[in-house]
A and B are shown apart, each in its own frame.
Chain A
Amino acid sequence: MEMVVVAPPAPGRLEDLRRRFFATPLQAVVSLACLTIMVFLVWKLLNWAVFSAVFTTSGGPEACQAAAGACWSVIAARWRIIFFGLYPYEGQWRSALACVAVVVMTVLSCIPAFWTGRRIALVWGAGTGLFYVLMKGGVLGLAHVGEEAWGGLALTLFIFVTTCLIGFPLAICLALLRRSELPWISRTTGLIIDGVRSLPLISILFTFAVVLPFALPQWLQGDKLYRVILGSALFFSAYQAEIVRGGMQGVATGQEEAAMALGMRYWQRISRILLPQAMRNAMPATINQFVISFKETSLVVIVGFFEILASGNAAYGTGEWRFAYVEVYAFIAFIYFIFVFSLSRYGAFLERRMSVSER
């Protein structure tokens, strides 16, 4: 007699559900209880945020406060201050354009086709240049706006992007110095990295913003904003340097030997063989560091900058909207989420892209 081998039929949806969540009576009870709690919470949240919420400013703060749900009219009434901070009203279109410039620059430099030295330099030069001209003005008929008046989303993005632009190359330099064969170089670098890492970011920002002007001659000081960015870039680079170093340790020693045997010089080995592989290894930790840095931009408020979180405080800070702080914070959390989520999705894209050539 002939044996016919048939694969067992794949369980249907319902059968699958039953096996996973209702296998025993106890499991069924737990599943049902969890489901009830979840439905209840989701319904409460939706009811607050959507069904009973007020979206228009027509009724003013009083009508809004009387409503059972969220009062989104605070966003409709005060969005300008959240996005633009103290930036002059008539120039806020410039601040908006500047945000677009930074976002476009970031998106472009995330596309692999732009990863050549010249293109990336072009994108970054144009992006930061455009941002600076738009924000600062004083040329092309744009009214001059000092750095002390910059604020909101534009300031947050600017601090984040410049921190990364300065901090990332610095991190790579530190990581390379740290693996130098000369002990006095590697140890000094290690000491600098550990020194910076042992300080809280707040104290570094404070030092760069307030203490440094006493130590530096006038012409070297620059605006407080740029000193704060330098401090935050230094902090970023100390952590990122360790991430890059970890990535380098994951690259087999044979890789550098093969490159040497092929006659490549130091910088060719570093840029073509070592770093591309090290950055691949370091990718998840790097994305993590970017996310942390993005959120840490909110600390600049202690040295007097109105980035997006501080602007949010100002948005509900006026008497009439004082009750609506939850809505403002929820809105700002949403903005943070958009940026951080994009970063992590981009990280996932890079990992997928690289998995082809994995060992």
Chain B
Amino acid sequence: MTSTNSTGEPALRIENLDKYYGTFQALRGINLSVQRGEKIVVCGPSGSGKSTMIRCINRLEQHNGGRIVVLGTELNDDVGNIDEIRREVGMVFQHFNLFPHMTVLENCMISPMIVRKQPRAQAEATARHYLEKVRIPEQAMKYPSQLSGGQQQRVAIARALCMQPQIMLFDEPTSALDPEMVSEVLDVMVTLASEGMTMICVTHEMGFARRVADRVLFMDGGEILEEAPPDEFFTSSRNERTRQFLSQVLGH
């Protein structure tokens, strides 16, 4: 096992990644390297493999071929490696997945306390700090079901940040939200990006991609078809399918 903080090592390196569901190949030879502090936006039609790819990064899905190296640690069957990577990689889900039987504060405190073994007072201070950051400190004692969708998603972001991860994964964080709540979540993500967090976001929010992404990836059929900085991606895309997708997403 290599050291976590060797300089020059990218935050994430994916080589020839393959993933099958039975006989269906969901990912075909994905190659991707993400530097520390880089923000990647992944887009593409549904079923293109974007979610599968980022779920492989913290082993919510098991890959069948190729290598994934996260922060210098290779993801393999070694449970120790998986645990180490999951501690350092935060994830935000489409459907928030907050723990409904705990208050907002407890949602944010539980993992630092039982995974990182932080004392309660420290975990609570951290939790309150991040709840402040996502602008809902006053909701700390409520249960998730008492909050709006946008508030819940911001809690989910705070919960992931409380583990003080080095990489954040976003799996369509605004797709399940009512339109008027999308911007409050994106604002939090923009702030996070401006502070230098390494981020990989699966999203169809092209405005967000333009503002914060260093690179935009377009995936279809389990492959990365295009990879370019946002200016280039939106104005002079080389790929026919990318242009078609963009015209559908940006059409209205």
Chain A residues with Cβ below 8 Å from B114 are 264, 268, 272
Interface residues of B in 104-143 (CB under 8 A from A): 110-111, 114-115, 143
What CA separation (Å) do A358 and B100 show in the bound complex? 7
- For the complex formed, measure the closest distance between the CB of B31 and the CB atoms of chain A, giving whole angstroms: 24
- Cβ contact within 8 Å between B87 and A357: no
B191 at the interface (CB under 8 A from A): no
Contact (Cβ within 8 A) A263 B115? yes
A120 to B81, CA, bound (A): 35
Given contacts A262-B159, A268-B114, A276-B101, is CB(A358)–CB(B91) below 8 Å? no
* Given A254-B93, A268-B115, A272-B114: A262 and B101 interface contact (C-beta under 8 Å): no
Least CB separation from B110: chain A residue? A272
From B83, B93, B144, A263 is in contact (CB under 8 Å) with: B83
Q: Do B111 and A264 have beta carbons less than 8 Å apart?
A: yes
When distances are taken between beta carbons in the complex, the residues of chain B under 8 Å from A359 are 100, 144-145
Q: State the Cβ distance, A222 to closest chain B Cβ, in Å.
A: 38
CB distance from A144 to the nearest CB of B (A): 47
Task: Point out the residues of chain A lying under 8 angstroms from B95, CB to CB.
Answer: 252, 254
For the complex, what is the distance from the CA of A263 to the CA of B86, rounded to whole Å?
A: 5
A263:B163 contact, CB within 8 angstroms:
yes
Residue on A nearest B90 in the bound complex, by CB: A261
Contacts of A95 in B (CB 8 A): none
Q: Given known contacts A261-B58, A263-B86, A264-B114, is B100 in contact with A254 (CB within 8 Å)?
A: no
Q: How many of A's residues come within 8 Å of B, CB to CB?
A: 23
Question: Given the complex, which residues of A lie within 8 Å of B163, measured CB to CB?
Answer: 262-263
Whether A255 is near chain B, meaning CB under 8 Å from some CB there, is yes
Asked if B60 CB lies within 8 Å of chain A CBs, one says yes
A42 contacts partner chain B, Cβ-Cβ < 8 Å: no
Q: Are B111 and A273 in contact (CB under 8 A)?
A: no
Residue A232, interface by CB 8 Å: no
Beta-carbon contact of B111 and A262 below 8 Å: yes
A282 to chain B, nearest CB (A): 13
**The residue from B60, B100, B102 contacting A261, defined by CB atoms under 8 A apart:** B60
Is the Cβ of A262 less than 8 Å from the Cβ of B60?
A: no
How far does the Cβ of A123 sit from chain B's closest Cβ, in whole Å? 23
Contact with B along A254-278 (1 / 0, CB 8 A): 1101111111110010001100110
A245 adjacent to chain B (CB < 8 Å): no
Q: How far is the CA of A218 from the CA of B83 in the complex (A)?
A: 48
Q: Which residues of B contact A277 (CB under 8 A)?
A: 99-101
Q: Using Cβ atoms and an 8 Å threshold, which residues of chain B touch A178?
A: none
Kindly state whether residue B40 has any CB partner on chain A within 8 Å: no
Q: Which of B58, B102, B114, B145 has the most CB of A within 10 A?
A: B114
Is the beta-carbon distance between A263 and B87 smaller than 8 angstroms?
Answer: yes
Taking the complex as formed, is B160 at the interface, i.e. its CB lies under 8 A from any CB of chain A? yes
Chain B neighbourhood of A260, CB < 8 A: 58-60, 86
| Residues of chain B within 8 A of A272, CB atoms compared | 110, 114
Query: Smallest distance from the beta carbon of A255 to chain B beta carbons, Å?
Result: 6
- Nearest B residue to A273 by beta-carbon distance? B99
Is residue B76 within 8 Å, beta carbon to beta carbon, of the partner chain? no
- B97 within 8 Å of A by Cβ? yes
B115 pairs with A257, CB closer than 8 A: no
A261, B86: Cβ atoms closer than 8 Å:
yes
Residues of A within 8 A of B110 (CB): 262, 272
Chain A residue contacts of B58, Cβ below 8 A: 260-261
In whole Å, how far is B100's beta carbon from the nearest beta carbon of chain A? Answer: 5
Q: B160 — which chain A residues lie within 8 A by C-beta? A: 261-262
- A residues 6-32 near B (Cβ < 8 Å) are none
- Residues of the A chain whose Cβ atoms lie less than 8 Å from the Cβ of B115: 262-265, 268
Q: Is the CB of A254 within 8 A of B86?
A: no
The residues of B that contact A264 with a CB separation of less than 8 Å are: 111, 114-115
Q: Is the CB of B111 within 8 A of A263?
A: yes
The answer to whether B99 touches A258 (Cβ under 8 A) is yes
Verify A262–B145 contact, CB threshold 8 A. no
Does any Cβ of B come within 8 Å of A280's Cβ?
yes
Alpha-carbon gap, A254 to B60, bound state (A):
11
A264–chain B nearest beta-carbon distance, Å? 6
Q: Shortest beta-carbon distance, A271 to chain B, in Å?
A: 9
Of A254, A255, A265, the residue contacting B83 (CB under 8 A) is: A265
CB-based nearest A residue for B59 = A260
Question: A359 vs B143: C-alpha distance in the bound complex, in angstroms?
Answer: 9
In angstroms, how far is the closest chain A Cβ from the Cβ of B239? 32
Smallest CB gap from B112: residue in A? A262
Report A251 CB to chain B, min CB distance, Å. 9
- B174, chain A: closest CB distance, angstroms: 16
Our pick among B60, B87, B97, B102 for the contact of A252 (Cβ within 8 Å) is B97
Q: Which of A268, A272, A276, A277 has most chain B Cβ within 10 Å?
A: A272
Residues of B whose CB lies within 8 Å of any CB of A are 58-60, 83, 86-87, 89-91, 93, 95, 97-102, 110-111, 114-115, 143-145, 159-160, 163
Q: A255-B99, A257-B60, A268-B115 provided; 8 other pairs, C-beta below 8 A?
A: A257-B97, A262-B160, A262-B163, A277-B99, A354-B101, A357-B101, A357-B144, A358-B145
Cβ contacts A to B, 20 pairs, < 8 Å: A254-B93, A258-B93, A258-B98, A260-B86, A261-B58, A261-B160, A262-B90, A262-B110, A263-B83, A263-B86, A264-B111, A264-B115, A265-B83, A268-B114, A277-B99, A277-B100, A357-B100, A359-B100, A359-B144, A359-B145
List the 3 closest A-B pairs by CB distance, nearest first: A258-B97, A254-B97, A262-B111
